[in-house]
Structures are given as structure tokens and as C-alpha cells.
A and B are shown apart, each in its own frame.
Chain A
Amino acid sequence: MRRLVLIVFSVVFVYPFVIQIANAFKTDPDAAANPLSPIPHPATVAAFERVFLGTDMPLWLGNSLLVTVVVTLGRVLLDSMAGYALARLRFRGRRGLFAAVIAVMAVPGVVLFIPKFLVLNQLGMYNSYLALILPLIADATGVFVMKQFFESVPRSVEEAARIDGAGTFRVFWSVVLPMSRPALVTLTILSFQGSWNEFPHTLVAVQDPALFTLPRGLADLVSGSLGGGTQFPLKLAAALLATIPVAVIFVIFQRHFVRDLNEGAEKG
């Protein structure tokens, strides 16, 4: 009984991806007539050809890659520096700052659309790579995760390095960070996934098609920039390209996705 339930639900959760992959390799009439069939008949890569030759896909991929890499590197460095300071350095205003980080984590992202646009506009950054990257380059959740991690690490090694006369940044960079690999990997993955999938921020940061990231370009395709029929195989092929990088990372680093969430559950 439990086996059967598991199998049924596995189909419900996996089959939409089977449909996505299969139909990306179908012709338009085949996808319309047999959407459920997992086997394309005939199988064709025409949809992918059209995605790469007929849309701005290469550009979107490039933009997404650039934004994701810069945001991820930025978050890993800045969040762990702030997390380290909050966990270890006794500076004035530390408690207040940590309370502020907690408060900021609770601010719902959707209420910030227009406000973020206002600031980018006022600073003259609207419609630039800077607008896509800078507002995302630090996040409160990452700071929180890193602070929790640093608090769980014993102080003794750092103290030894300090006695040897190393400065604060030196201790952080060459002693603390190398010890923090598990937390850094988790933060890297979460940042990668978050910024690769990020969509609403691009809506309020840029409107120039040359600056579109993949989710933005994909949304644009769907809302009718394509013209002529539904062209689902093409859209599904584009969606597949947006899904693959995170899927690969998920499969390789699954443990880290899961572990971080469990920590989240425990703190609640």
C-alpha cells in the first residue's frame, strides 16, 4: 500500500519534467496532439535550433551567467564577512545590527518591487548590469546562516593565530575561511540557485532587452514576443535550458540543499 502511494506520487512529481523534456524534442503538431506521450514522434531538435537562432537565448544565457557568478561570489564573501563579525568581533552596535538582520529577513520581497525601482532610478543605475547585480550582492539570510555557522566553530585556532600577531582580516581570510568549507559550499549553492532563478528583480531593474537574463527572456517569450501559434516545443526547450544548471547542481550537491533546510527547521 505504502509502496503504491510512493509510486503514484513519484509519477505526479516527476512526470511534468518528463513532459517538459519529451515535448521539447517534438514537432509542434505532435506536441499538440500527444502532449502526454513521453516519446517524440518524430524526434527533432528543431525547437532548440529555433531557440538559439531565432531568439536572444545566447545573450540571455550570457547575462544570466555573468549575474549569477558575480552575485554568488559577492554573497559568499560579503555574507561571511558580516556573519563572522556578528559571531566573533565585539564591536559597538553588534546586537542592534543582528536584530536588524533578523528584521530584514522578514521583509517580504514583493513589497519591494516599486521601492527598489525608485532607488535604482534615483541613483541613475536603472537599466544597467549594476542594477541587476548590486541589490542582490548581499542578503540577510546568508549573513544569518554564516553567523550561526561561525558560532558553532571553536575559537581556539583563531586565538592561536591572533597570539602570533595576525590581524583580524588575516585571521578571517587564512584561518577561518579555509575551515568553513561546508558552510561556504551551502551558501554558494543557495546563492547560485537564487540568482540563477531570480525573476522579479529583473523586472524592476532593467527594461533593455540587451540586459535580459534567462528567466526574464523566457517570460518575455511566453507573454507573446514570439508570434504565430503557441510553439510549445520552443518554449519548453527554452525552459529546459533554464532548468538544467540548477538541476545539475542539485543532483551533485543534494546533501547541502537538504542540510540547510533542516537547520532552518530547527531554528524555528
Chain B
Amino acid sequence: MRSRTRENLAGWLFVAPVVVILGLFLLLPILMALWVSLTAWNGQGSPFTGGVPFVGVDNYARLFTEDGLARQDFMTSIRNNLYYVAAVVPLQTALALFLALVVNRRKAFFRTAFYFPSVTSSVAISVVFLFIFSNSGAINQLLAFAGVDGPQWFSDSRGVIQLLIGEPPAALTEHGMLGLTWWDWLAGPSVAMCAIITLVVWTTSGTFMLMFLAALQNIPKALDEAAMIDGATRRQRFWRVTLPQLKPTMFLVLTLGLIGSWQVFDQIYVMSQGNPAKTTLTPAYLSYRTAFRDFDYGAGTAISFVLFLIIVLLTLFQRWAMRERKA
């Protein structure tokens, strides 16, 4: 009995520092933020004194139901992030799988080269890409070799769909949904956003490549050989043998990608600060800006919680979708 008590005590002593730190800087903050999202605190003094106006769900209502700048900015950020997710998740997954297939059982050098961008500082790499995508930078020089006049990447706010089809039909600009016109929703990611998408796909593919590689190396060789004996072509072996074996990893990569791409922040902060014309504004960056630049902490925190909810819901949906297909 005594030794039982001692082990209880030892256990809690061992975990105490971690529990205190995580409690203090993870759990407590979430609870405090929940309160602040229901107030109109402006950053002066403490948000937990009587003087701070309690506004209930007003901050949330401003994001969804009240016509105004807050909703317009928030919906713009959602729109931008949707395009970002729609581009980044498939591209990085496909590139990661492709790279894994070509480096499988090859020299470690290639693995290292493809993985290295993932471990470097996001700020430093953003600076490099800012230079590469600058007006007289590497990308525009390459485009010039091909006879294409490159855009001014970080000052061009036109969407790519807009660039393709030109001026919008009037029907789309006159009506809309949630504070944005249909055309605003449909114009596509801006040229600036495409530069950021390129950077992110380039940095994250290496990480996911390693996950695919680990999975590839776990596939029993006999499986592939058996298919070969049965006369399956390379293509058939890939689609019928390799790919089904990679399903759990595919699930992991897609889920992690989906969760990660709603959190894009560092690159936006360094490269565009939400510009041009708010086309690279994302919910994560908007929540930061609303709180720390506009001193509207209530609205900023409310955006964080909505983002939190989006991430949780997407994760659940993803799990559900993969389970359906498996059955």
C-alpha cells in the first residue's frame, strides 16, 4: 500500500512540469480566449475586470450575419484559404507520392535534397522565394526565356480564373453570398497566392515523401513479384498493387495536409501581409491582424475559434470519408 502511494507521488512529480506548462500555456489560454471572444476588449488593461464590455456572440455574428467590413474580410480570408487548400493538398500529395516512387531504393542524396526544404526556417525560405518571385527575379527571367512576360507576382491581385476568362458577366458581380459577390468567390486564387502555394508545395512535399517512402518499403516484395508473374504491366501493378497498399499513408498525408493548410501563417506574414487587395488574407493571418493591428481582440479571437472548428470538422469529415470507401 505504501509503495502504491509512493508510485502515485513519483508519477505526478515526473509529469508535473509538463502538466503545468501545457495547462498554463495551452488549456488556460483557450478558456481565457473563449471569454475574450465574447467581449469587446481593446487590449488596454486586463480583459477580466468589470470595465470590459460583454457583448455575447456579437463578435461571431459580425463574421457571419452582419453586413460589414468584418464579414467581408472574414469571408475573403475563407475564400482565399479554400483556394489555397484546393491547390496545396492535391499538389503536395501527388508530388510527394511521385518523388517517393522515383527515389525508392535510390541513392540517399535525392531523398536528402527533396527533404531539406522541410527542415529550414519558414521565414528564411520565404525571404528566398520573395526574391525568386520578385519583378526582376528568377521566375520572371525564366519566363522571359520562354517568351512570356511574367506578372508582378506580389502586386497582381487578379485571380487566375479571371485572367483566363477576362471580364466577368454582370450577373455574377451584382449578386452574391455572405458579403462577397459571386465573382469574388469564383475569381480564383490571385497570382500572389499562387506564388505562396508554389513555395508551400515545394517545402512540404519532402516530409510527405518520407512517409510514402516508409510505406513503400513496408510493402512485401513478393506481392509485386506475384503480380509480375501473373503478367501485370507496370501501370497495372502501380494502380492495383502498390496504391491500395499505400491507402493508410495516403489517409495520413491527406489529413495532415488538410489540417496544415488551414494554418498557413508564416509565409503570409513575411511575403504578402494579406496583400495585394486582401487576396492572400487567410483566417489565421486575419485573426492575428484583427487582434494585434486593429486591437479588436474580441473579433480576432472569434476568428481563431471559427478556424479551430473548421480544422476539427475537416478532420472528422476526412476520417469518415476514408472509412466509407474502405467498407
Residues of A within 8 A of B (CB): 2, 5-6, 9-10, 12-14, 16-17, 19-20, 23, 31-33, 35-36, 78-79, 81-82, 84-86, 89-94, 97, 104, 106-119, 121-122, 134-135, 137-138, 140, 143, 168-169, 172, 193, 196-197, 199-200, 203-204, 214-215, 218-219, 222-223, 230, 232, 235-236, 238-240, 242-243, 246-247, 250, 254, 257-258, 261-262, 264-266, 268
**Which one of B61-69, B155-163, B172-180, B298-306 is at the interface?**
B298-306
* A199:B123 contact, CB within 8 angstroms: yes
Cβ distance A103 to chain B, nearest Cβ, rounded Å: 10
List the interface of chain B (C-beta within 8 A of A).
Answer: 6-12, 14-15, 17-19, 21-22, 24-26, 28-30, 32-33, 36, 46-48, 99, 102-103, 106, 108, 110-117, 119-132, 134, 136-138, 141-142, 202, 206-207, 210-211, 214-215, 248-249, 251-252, 259, 262-263, 265-266, 269-270, 273, 284, 287-288, 291-292, 297, 300-301, 304-305, 307-308, 311, 315
Is the beta-carbon distance between A97 and B15 smaller than 8 angstroms? yes
Alpha-carbon gap, A121 to B43, bound state (A): 10
Q: Is the CB of B30 within 8 A of A265?
A: no
A200 neighbours in B (Cβ, 8 Å): 265-266, 269, 288
Q: CA separation between A246 and B103, bound complex, in Å?
A: 24
Given A2-B102, A232-B134, A111 contacting B307 (CB threshold 8 A) = yes
Please state if B12 and A91 are interface contacts (CB–CB under 8 Å).
yes
B307 CB contacts on chain A under 8 angstroms: 108, 110-111
**B29 — which chain A residues lie within 8 A by C-beta?**
112, 115-116, 118-119
Q: Which residues of B contact A223 (CB under 8 A)?
A: 270, 273
Question: Whole-angstrom distance between the alpha carbons of A264 and B277 in the complex?
Answer: 40
Contact A35 B17, beta carbon cutoff 8 Å: no
Q: Which residue on chain B has the smallest CB distance to residue A86?
A: B15
Smallest distance from the beta carbon of A127 to chain B beta carbons, Å? 13
Please state if A9 and B128 are interface contacts (CB–CB under 8 Å).
no
User: Which residues on the B side are within 8 Å of A16 (C-beta)?
Assistant: 117, 125, 128-129, 132, 202
Cα distance A119–B307 in the bound complex, in angstroms? 20
CB distance from B61 to the nearest CB of A (A): 19
B115-A115 in contact (CB<8A): no
The answer on a CB contact under 8 Å between B7 and A90 is yes
- Closest CB-CB distance, B283 to chain A, in whole Å? 8
- B132 near A9 with CB under 8 A, answer no
Complex CA gap A256/B228 in Å reads 35
Cα distance, A169 to B111, chains bound together (Å): 41
Whether the Cβ atoms of A134 and B21 lie closer than 8 Å is: yes
Cross-chain contact B26 with A36 (CB below 8 angstroms): no
Chain B residues, CB < 8 A from A17: 116, 128
Shortest CB–CB separation between residue B327 and chain A, in angstroms? 19
22 example contacts (A-B, Cβ-Cβ < 8 A) are as follows: A10-B114, A35-B132, A89-B7, A91-B12, A106-B315, A110-B287, A110-B307, A111-B284, A112-B29, A118-B36, A138-B17, A168-B10, A199-B266, A199-B269, A235-B127, A236-B131, A239-B121, A242-B121, A261-B207, A265-B211, A265-B249, A268-B248
Interface pair B21/A138, CB less than 8 Å apart: yes
A135 touches B18 (CB 8 A): no
Please tell me if the beta carbons of B22 and A138 are within 8 angstroms of each other in the complex: yes
Q: Are A110 and B11 in contact (CB under 8 A)?
A: no
A262 and B131 within 8 A (CB): no
Dominant secondary structure at the A interface? helix
- Asked whether A114 lies within 8 Å of B22 as measured between CB atoms, the reply is no
Closest 10 CB pairs of A and B: A91-B11, A115-B29, A85-B14, A268-B252, A115-B33, A135-B25, A239-B124, A89-B11, A265-B211, A82-B18
Contact B265 A110 (CB under 8 A): yes
- B-chain residues with CB within 8 Å of residue A197 when the two chains form the complex: 120-123
Partner of A265, one of B24, B206, B252, B273: B252
Q: Closest CB-CB distance, A2 to chain B, in whole Å?
A: 6
Q: Are B17 and A90 in contact (CB under 8 A)?
A: no
